[in-house]
Structure formats: structure tokens, C-alpha cells
Chain A
Amino acid sequence: MREAQRVEFEWVFRSTYPSVLRTTYLILHDRGRAEEVTQDAFLRLCERWRGVVRIEQPGPWVRQVAVRAAIRQATLRRLRFSSTPPDEPSGWDPLPDVDLARAVASLPAQQRATVALFYLEDLPVEEVARVLDVTASTVKQHLHRARARLATLLSEATEEVSRDVD
């Protein structure tokens, strides 16, 4: 990779890697796997950069590659943490909002990705749809279902805490 390409790649890396890692982490709920998936996506970007293919929007491209890989991996490995107490399992980082983490982790991978891209990355619905390769109406459906599911789970969690306190 020539110096100009290297500088450009590093700039894209610095500006995009942290947010892509956050998103893949929310999909996989495993830092190691999230780093692996995210690095793989940048690796592919790096390889393409060296070739003749010019990627016009490397940031969105690498996010799309990473998110899709994370969804695929989450689906394949059936990574669901809803039945696992968040304060006990190995591999979980101590999180400020454990109830939310547990609730989000119980969503199907596609919904988790939608929630992460919309609420964490603050992408508009159309951009979320582009990343996930679905229609905007599908994104809205995912968001609607995810919100309803999360509201239920979180209110149940709140009620449990209230009962424990009482």
C-alpha cells in the first residue's frame, strides 16, 4: 500500500472503527468476536484498497460488511443471553445498564442490528435499510417490534427490582 493510500486508510479507520466496533458488539455481545468481525471488515477494505476497485464510500461500506457478518455470526451461533444472568456469565463486561443489555440481547440479531444502527449510531431509517439491505418499511417494522419487546422486558425488570426493594 502506498503512502497516500495508507494515510487515507488510516483516516477512515480512525473515524469509523470505534462506531463499527460498538455496533458489532451490540449485535454479538462479545467483545472478542466483535473485534474479530470488525477487523475482518477493515481487512477486506484494506485489500480492496490495494486493488483496482475504488470504494467511493469506504466508511458505510465497511460498516455494512461488518454488520452483516456480525448478524450472520450471531444467527449461526444463536447468541442469546436472555436466559443468562448478566452479572454472572463469563465474557460479559460490567455494564452500566445491565437490564437494557439483557433485553437487547434477547432480540433477534436483525432487530439488534437495527436498534444499534438507529439508536446508537443515529443513522436515519433509509441508511439503516441500506446497511442491512432491506427496505425502509422493514426497518420500521423491526424498530416497532424491538421497541415493544424492549418496553415489556424493561418494565418487567423494573417491576422485579421494585418487588426486591419492597
Chain B
Amino acid sequence: MSIDERLRAGLAANTEHLAPDLEREAAAVMRRAYRRRRAVVVVGSVLAASVVATVAWFGIPGLERATGLHDPVKSPKVKVLTPKSMAGVDGPLSAGPWIVPFWGMDPHSLPRAVVEVPEGYGSPGGWVVDRGADGDPQHYGTVGFWTVQDVVRDPCEGVTAFDPGPAVRDLAKALRSQPGVTATPPRPVSVDGHQGLYLEVSFPPEESQFVGCHSSEYHLWRTDAGDFYGTDIAGTVSRLWILDVQGTRVVMVADTTPGEDAAATAEVLDIAASAHFLAPLEPAR
């Protein structure tokens, strides 16, 4: 056998076992693509700062648990926390407490959000996300934290935005006024002792309603870094806790798609219910 023949036969034989599961692999790629797009980009300095934050605060005990979200029956037991930073993590998360980076604003001046993550969750670069249903990129639930600079005037148009004003109620009012999406009336809520307003925003239920929108998406708001929050999945429900955390307005978002079953949705909400906040690394400027 010549070297050429040996190479052709041998290389084919040595790679025969690879036989990828194309359905699974394609779903994984699509899901990563979708989540990467939604997760936007966190600049390197933000990642580095979050890592520094983790190191600096490693070992700080957990604070009082959230009070406005919990079903007392479901409340997790309080335990000593040693949260790790989720900044830059792209993959599975170990069960336990994690510091979730905010989208927007200089993290040095922000309170740091901590959530309890159960088994089976991951993070595409800095927020909590479940596995999705059978790898389907259309079915998932997430928990993330944002600061909002501008509210998009028309979520379908998706770009033109306005300053809603600095207060929690200003933001809630602005989100209620957005056309094309349905927002519940805001109601008072308290998370980890921080007061705020809770509302749920439902995106249009039909895919056809996304056609013609900017990037076929609906956008709700924009951060000072220019990142938009929104979705291109019809029927997504975003649950928003707009909170005043020691003078900083933050938004915790738990969103689920229509394909997420009740148990998975409840688990996502349990993650949100575990949220509490640590002091910023530096005083607000």
C-alpha cells in the first residue's frame, strides 16, 4: 500500500467514529447564536472589573433574602454564601451563588447582584440561562440584570429612544406606554429590602408581528453602553423588577418563552427570588 493510499484509507477510518448528532449540534449552534446576540457585548474592562470585584469580596456572607418575591413555602434556606463572578463565564454554571454582572454602566459604582443558581444552568457570557427545552433555541428562561438609560419609543421600530426620567416609577410609566407590547400595571415590590415596582411585559404572540420590525426584533430599552434589551421570539414574557438599590435604579429581568413549561418557569422565578445585592466596589460617582 502506498503512503497515499494509506493516508486516504487511514484518515477516513480514524474519523469515522465522529458521526455527529446533527440535530443536537445544529440546535446548540443556533441557541448560542441567539443568546450571544441577546447577551450583547460586555467590554473587557467590565469583565475585568467584575473579576476584581469577586476577588475583593470573596467570602462576604449573604445578606437578607428577598422579601417581595418569595412564596414563603418555596423560600430557599439561608446559608453562608461565597459568590463567584459570572462575568465572562460562557458555559455551564456550578450550583450555588453567583454574582451576575449588569448590562450597562460602570460596574464599579453598581451594587452587585447575587443569585442562587441550581444545577443544570449555564451562562452565555454573563447571565443565568437554563438549558432550554431539548436544546431548542426557542425555548428557554433567563435571569439578568440591567441598568436602563433610554426607553425605546416604539419597540418594533426599535431604535428611537427617550430618557424616561431617573426614578423607578418614571421607568415603569415609560414601559407601560410602549406600543406593540402589553405591560401589566406596576405594583409595589420589595427585593432584598429594596423597594421598587414589578410589571410583566408580553411581546406579540405571532411571529408575523415581528416581520418588518428592526432586525425582526422588539426592543424595550437601551443601556448607556448602547445595548438593547429585547427579543425576536414571539410570545416571550419579561418579568421586570425595577428597584432602587441604594440610589441606583436597576432592573432584574426574568424572561421565558412560550415553550418553557411550568416547572422550568417556576425554577427561573426561584432564581430571581433568590436575588440580593452587595455593596458596590466604589461609591457612586
Residues of A within 8 A of B (CB): 1-2, 6, 9-10, 13-14, 17-18, 21-22, 25-26, 31, 34-35, 39, 42-43, 46-47, 50, 93, 95-97, 100-101, 104, 115-116, 119-120, 147, 150-151, 154
Q: Chain A contacts of B12 at CB under 8 A?
A: 120
Q: Chain B contacts of A31 at CB under 8 A?
A: 18
Distance in angstroms from B215 CB to nearest chain A CB is: 8
The one of B13, B14, B20, B36 in contact with A18, judged by C-beta atoms closer than 8 angstroms, is B20
Residues of B within 8 A of A (CB): 3-4, 6-20, 22, 25-26, 28-30, 32-33, 36-37, 211, 215-216
Q: Chain B contacts of A150 at CB under 8 A?
A: 3, 7
Q: Chain A contacts of B20 at CB under 8 A?
A: 17-18, 21, 35
A31 to B25 alpha-carbon distance, docked (Å):
13
A89 to B147 alpha-carbon distance, docked (Å):
49
Closest 7 CB pairs of A and B: A100-B10, A97-B10, A96-B13, A46-B33, A22-B15, A119-B7, A120-B11
Given known pairs A43-B36, A154-B3, the reply for A93 and B17 (CB within 8 Å) is yes
Q: Chain B contacts of A116 at CB under 8 A?
A: 11
A6 to B18 alpha-carbon distance, docked (Å):
25
The one of B3, B6, B25, B37 in contact with A50, judged by C-beta atoms closer than 8 angstroms, is B37
The 22 listed contacts between A and B (C-beta, < 8 Å) are A2-B211, A14-B22, A17-B20, A17-B22, A18-B20, A25-B15, A25-B18, A35-B20, A43-B33, A43-B36, A46-B33, A47-B36, A95-B13, A95-B14, A95-B17, A96-B10, A100-B10, A101-B10, A115-B7, A115-B11, A119-B11, A151-B3
A104 to B3 alpha-carbon distance, docked (Å):
12
Do A97 and B30 touch across chains, with their CB atoms under 8 A apart?
Answer: no
Do B29 and A46 touch across chains, with their CB atoms under 8 A apart?
Answer: yes
Given known pairs A43-B36, A119-B11, the reply for A18 and B28 (CB within 8 Å) is no
A46 to B8 alpha-carbon distance, docked (Å):
32
Distance in angstroms from A102 CB to nearest chain B CB is: 10
Main secondary structure, interface of A, reads helix
Do B10 and A39 touch across chains, with their CB atoms under 8 A apart?
Answer: no
Given known pairs A93-B17, A100-B6, A147-B3, the reply for A39 and B11 (CB within 8 Å) is no
A130 to B152 alpha-carbon distance, docked (Å):
45
Do A39 and B14 touch across chains, with their CB atoms under 8 A apart?
Answer: no
Distance in angstroms from A98 CB to nearest chain B CB is: 8
A18 to B16 alpha-carbon distance, docked (Å):
10
Do A2 and B216 touch across chains, with their CB atoms under 8 A apart?
Answer: yes
Do A43 and B29 touch across chains, with their CB atoms under 8 A apart?
Answer: yes
CB closest chain-A residue, reference B34: A1
Distance in angstroms from B126 CB to nearest chain A CB is: 17
> B9, B12, B17, B25 — which one has the most chain A CB atoms within 10 A of its CB?
B25
CB closest chain-A residue, reference B19: A18
The one of B11, B13, B32 in contact with A43, judged by C-beta atoms closer than 8 angstroms, is B32
Do A13 and B10 touch across chains, with their CB atoms under 8 A apart?
Answer: no
Do B33 and A18 touch across chains, with their CB atoms under 8 A apart?
Answer: no
A119 to B215 alpha-carbon distance, docked (Å):
42
The one of A18, A46, A93, A104 in contact with B30, judged by C-beta atoms closer than 8 angstroms, is A46
A14 to B216 alpha-carbon distance, docked (Å):
25
> A22, A115, A116 — which one has the most chain B CB atoms within 10 A of its CB?
A22
Do A47 and B216 touch across chains, with their CB atoms under 8 A apart?
Answer: no
Q: Chain A contacts of B26 at CB under 8 A?
A: 10, 13-14, 17
Do B14 and A97 touch across chains, with their CB atoms under 8 A apart?
Answer: yes
A101 to B17 alpha-carbon distance, docked (Å):
14
A43 to B39 alpha-carbon distance, docked (Å):
14
Distance in angstroms from A29 CB to nearest chain B CB is: 10
Distance in angstroms from A8 CB to nearest chain B CB is: 13
CB closest chain-B residue, reference A148: B3
Given known pairs A25-B18, A96-B13, the reply for A42 and B29 (CB within 8 Å) is yes
